[in-house]
Amino acid sequence: MTVAELVHKYDALGVQLWLDNRQLRFRAPAGVLNEQCLQELRFHKEALIRHLNETEDSIVTADLANRYAPFPLTDIQAAYLIGRKNDYELGGVGCHGYVELTMPVLDRGRLEQAWHSVIARHDMLRAMISTKGYQQVLKEFSLLPVKAQDLRGENPAQVQAAIQKVRTGLSTRQYQPDQWPLYELFLTTTDQNSIMHFSIDMLIADFVSISVILAELDHLYHHPEKPLSKPEVAYRDILLFQQAQQKQPARRAQRARDRQYWLERIDQMPEAPDLPMAECDKTQQKVSFERYGFRLAQRQWNSLCQQSKGQKITPSGVVLAAFAGVIGKWSRNASFCINITILNRPELHPQIDRIVGDFTTVNVLEVSPKPGSSFFEQAQALQQRLWQDLEHGSFSGIEVLRELRRRRNKSVIIPVVYTSTIGAGSAGRQDGEFLRGASLTYGISQTPQVWIDCQVAERFGELHVNWDVRSGIFPAGMIEAAFAAFAQLLQEMAGSSERVWEN
């Protein structure tokens, strides 16, 4: 009997074999492992360790023969697909991002050539998402021209009106997921500069992907004679490899432990913050989001980072605690849950950070501040809770929400979200944001079943914070007041105020 056959034999008996720090571990149903079985496992121990090592250390490779075959959606993609339907509470909108980058005048033809090269490089830029629950890279497609408007010679009022018309159309664009393409690039040229409008459905790309797309577009525009290295694997290869890994005994054992961690907590977990709400139709047909933003200058952000380090809390953890504290100030329930967006790119290939696709997951983070505790104590406790949750992340946040709905026999959504890209690579170049010579002059995102998405990022050594808020959900003035309180709290902490930490 080969070692692989031995593993399959015990797998059929319900025995899980895995490695823990290169030591063989097993879990078996009661009465399955008799003395003969134990002797067999001891006899083959070293061979089993080698086999499990080789299985776990295998790397992803490109499956070119099945490149255009359908493959499953991730949990988060499936949730986005369902949530965008109008018949779901707070649905009626896709997960979508839109930015405007203002820069020196670009040549439309050269931009189009570079853009087509980027599309050709990344399979997910040629993908469609079926409403039947799968995604597929298209083998046959026709590249579309980059649309443009030349406003040189127009008066300022006409220029602004034309830019606003494009912004209105693309910033609220509702893509049909099964109709390619799921993005659009548009170029506006004025007497002074160019504005590149970029709209994309986040079913096919995460924040890192957008940075990759724009960085490659910049390179291929300015240096078309210097080809980029070809991607060795694609998003489909990574996803299917991860699914195969989940069948390994060690991964199954880990998932069982992670599932148990969440199931033991789930009956006591609170739900969403109980925030003041305006009278509105939660299935409204016309959906829009508004952005509230501010930044901490480099000196202030450095100060806050140093203080965070001194308190043994990550900078992102401090901003998270401040956000949770402000939400708690307006919430009628002291304990609640918020969704944490996790940029979860597995280290399965050297090019993993250059692959376009949606690798995000969510963590349902419980915020239960201890009465009378200081901000420092709350931030530390929240960070510990998040770290503990992430250690049990193979049972996803989407699965946690499904279990909450099943046990409570009602719809449960967590519509307050925290998204941090601090430490995930800067979108700001030394000579521009995303593209050389460019400034990010407008941006907005929208997500189904989300009220508030707090987004924090580091650019040019500064902290940039946005709240993208669904319009019509909250009473007039509430978000303005909450956001002002959030900004003031961060500024006070950046000002070395011990009173804030101890309050």
Q: Is the pLDDT of residue 284 over 70?
A: no
Which residue blocks in 84-137 are alpha helix, DSSP H? 108-121
Q: How far is CA 61 from CA 74, 233, 348, 351, in A?
A: 19, 6, 10, 11
Q: pLDDT, tens digit, for every residue of 241-271?
A: 999 888 877 788 889 999 999 999 999 999 9
On whether residue 286 sits in a domain, the answer given is no
On whether residue 214 sits in a domain, the answer given is no
- How would residue 430 be classed by pLDDT, with cut points 50, 70 and 90? low
Q: To 5 degrees, how large is the angle CA 357–CA 361–CA 363?
A: 165
Range of the domain at 355: 248-274+291-502
CA distance 28 to 164: 64
Average pLDDT, the chain: 90
On whether residue 203 sits in a domain, the answer given is no
Domain boundary among the residues 56, 76, 99 is at: 56
Q: Is the pLDDT higher at 18 or at 94?
A: 94
Q: 368: which 2 tokens?
A: 């239960």
Residue 22 C-alpha from the chain's centroid: 32
Lowest mean pLDDT among 106-120, 148-162, 423-437, 445-459: 423-437
Beta bridge partners of 445: 97
CA distance 173 to 183: 9
Q: Is the pLDDT of residue 92 over 90?
A: no
- How would residue 240 be classed by pLDDT, with cut points 50, 70 and 90? very high
Q: What is the pLDDT, as a whole number, of residue 2? A: 81
CA distance 455 to 319: 10
Q: What is the pLDDT, as a whole number, of residue 285? A: 60
Pair 17, 7: CB distance under 8 Å: yes
CA distance 478 to 276: 8
Q: Is the pLDDT of residue 429 over 60?
A: no
CATH number assigned to the domain comprising residue 24: 1.10.10
Please compute the mean of the pLDDT values over residues 60-84 and round it to a whole number.
Answer: 93
CATH number assigned to the domain comprising residue 320: 3.30.559.30
Residue 2 C-alpha from the chain's centroid: 42
CA distance 302 to 104: 31
CB neighbours (10 Å) of residue 4? 10
Residue 117 C-alpha from the chain's centroid: 25
Please compute the mean of the pLDDT values over residues 213-217 and round it to a whole number.
Answer: 96
On whether residue 352 sits in a domain, the answer given is yes
Q: How many CA atoms lie within 13 A of 234 on its CB side?
A: 22
Could you tell me what percent of the chain has a pLDDT over 70?
94
On whether residue 75 sits in a domain, the answer given is no
Instruction: Give the 3-state secondary structure of residue 138.
Output: coil
- How would residue 301 be classed by pLDDT, with cut points 50, 70 and 90? very high
- How would residue 403 be classed by pLDDT, with cut points 50, 70 and 90? very high
Q: What is the pLDDT, as a whole number, of residue 84? A: 82
On whether residue 163 sits in a domain, the answer given is no
Please compute the mean of the pLDDT values over residues 461-471 and round it to a whole number.
Answer: 95
Residue 122: phi and psi, rounded to 5, are -120, 120
On whether residue 183 sits in a domain, the answer given is no
Please compute the mean of the pLDDT values over residues 317-345 and round it to a whole number.
Answer: 96
Pair 284, 472: CB distance under 8 Å: yes
Could you tell me what percent of the chain has a pLDDT over 90?
70
CA distance 304 to 458: 13
Pair 442, 222: CB distance under 8 Å: no
Q: Is the pLDDT of residue 56 over 80?
A: no
Q: What is the pLDDT, as a whole number, of residue 497? A: 61
Polymer length of the chain: 503
On whether residue 358 sits in a domain, the answer given is yes
Q: How many domains does the chain have?
A: 2
Domain boundary among the residues 30, 56, 82 is at: 56
CA distance 275 to 491: 24
Pair 358, 123: CB distance under 8 Å: no
Q: pLDDT, tens digit, for every residue of 134-190?
A: 999 999 999 999 999 999 999 999 999 999 999 999 999 999 999 999 999 999 999
Q: What is the pLDDT, as a whole number, of residue 425? A: 56
CA distance 48 to 272: 46
Q: What is the pLDDT, as a whole number, of residue 282? A: 56
Q: Is the pLDDT higher at 348 or at 148?
A: 148
